[in-house]
Structure 1
Amino acid sequence: MYKIQQFSKLTGLSVPTLRYYENLGILKPNRLKNNYREFTDTDLNWMKFVLRLKQTGMPLENIREYSYLRQQGDQTIEKRITLLDEQQQLLNKEFLKLQKQLDFLQKKKEIYNEMLAKRQTRGN
C-alpha cells in the first residue's frame, strides 16, 4: 500500500496530477477512514498502463473513456479494443509520415555521397 507521496515517486507524476486523474475518474484509489488515499500495486500497474497510453498520444478524454469501460468489466472488452484500434491507426499514420521523412533524408544523403565519390574520383 502506498500513500500519495510514495505513489507520486513511483509513477513520476506529481501529486496534483494524480488528484486530477482521480477527478477525471482515471484513477480510483481506496480511501482510508481519515479520507487519505491509499494506492495498491494494482493502481500502480494501471497507472503504468495509462502512461503508456499517453505515450502513444492517446488524448486524456479517450483514456478516461477506456478507464470507464475497464471499470464496467469484461463485457466492454470489444469497446476497449476499438479504442486501442483507433489509436493504433493514428500511430500507423504518424509512422508512415515519419518513414517518408526518413526516406527523403536517406535519398538526399545518397545524392551527396555520390557527389563526394565523383569528386574524389576526379581528384585522383
Structure 2
Amino acid sequence: MYKIHQFSKLTGLSVPTLRYYEDMGILKPARSKNNYREFTDYDLNWMMFILRLKQTGMSLENICRYSCLREQGDQTIEERIKLLDEQQRLLNKEFLKLQKQLEFLQKKKETYNDMLAKRNNNDN
C-alpha cells in the first residue's frame, strides 16, 4: 500500500494532480479507516498506463472515457479498441506532418551544402 505522497513520487505526478484524477474518476484508490487514500501496485500499473496514454496526446476526456469503459469490464473491449484506434490515427497524422517537416529541413540543408561546395570549388 502507498500513501498519496509515496504514490506521487512513484508516478512523478503532484498530489493535487492525483486528487484531480480521482475527482475525474480516473483513479479510485481504496480508503483506510481514517479515510486516507491507499494506493496499490494495481493502481500504480493503471497510472503508468494512463501516463502512456497521455504521452500519446490522448485527451483527459478520452482517458476518462477509457477508464469508465475499463471499469465496466470486458464487454467494453471493442469500445476501448475504438478509442485506441482513434488515438493511433491522430498520432499517424502527426507523424506524417513531422516527417514532411524533417524532409523540408533536409532539403534546405542539402541546398546549403551544395552552395558551400560550389563556393569552395570556386575558391580553388
Contiguous gaps of at least 5 residues in structure 1: none
Q: Describe the SS at the equivalent of 2:103.
A: helix
Cα deviations by residue, 1:13-54 (Å, 9 ceiling, x for unpaired):
111111110010000101111111100001001001101111
CA distance in 1, matches of 2:120, 2:15: 61
Query: How many aligned residue pairs are there?
Result: 124
Contiguous gaps of at least 5 residues in structure 2: none
Q: Identify the residue that residue 99 of structure 1 maps to in structure 2.
A: 99
The residue identity in structure 1 corresponding to 2:53 is L
CA distance in 1, matches of 2:3, 2:35: 11
Q: Identify the residue that residue 112 of structure 1 maps to in structure 2.
A: 112
- Provide the TM-score with structure 2 as the length reference: 0.98
CA distance in 2, matches of 1:54, 1:45: 14
CA distance in 1, matches of 2:13, 2:107: 42
CA distance in 2, matches of 1:62, 1:76: 14
Cα deviations by residue, 1:71-114 (Å, 9 ceiling, x for unpaired):
11111111101000000101111111111110000000001101
Q: Which 4+ stretches in 1 moved above 3 angstroms?
A: none
Deviation at 1:122, TM superposition (A): 1.2
- Provide the TM-score with structure 1 as the length reference: 0.98
Q: Identify the residue that residue 56 of structure 1 maps to in structure 2.
A: 56
Give RMSD over aligned pairs: 0.6
The residue identity in structure 2 corresponding to 1:56 is T
Instruction: Report whether the alignment pairs 1:34 with 2:17.
Output: no
The residue identity in structure 2 corresponding to 1:122 is N
Deviation at 1:66, TM superposition (A): 0.2
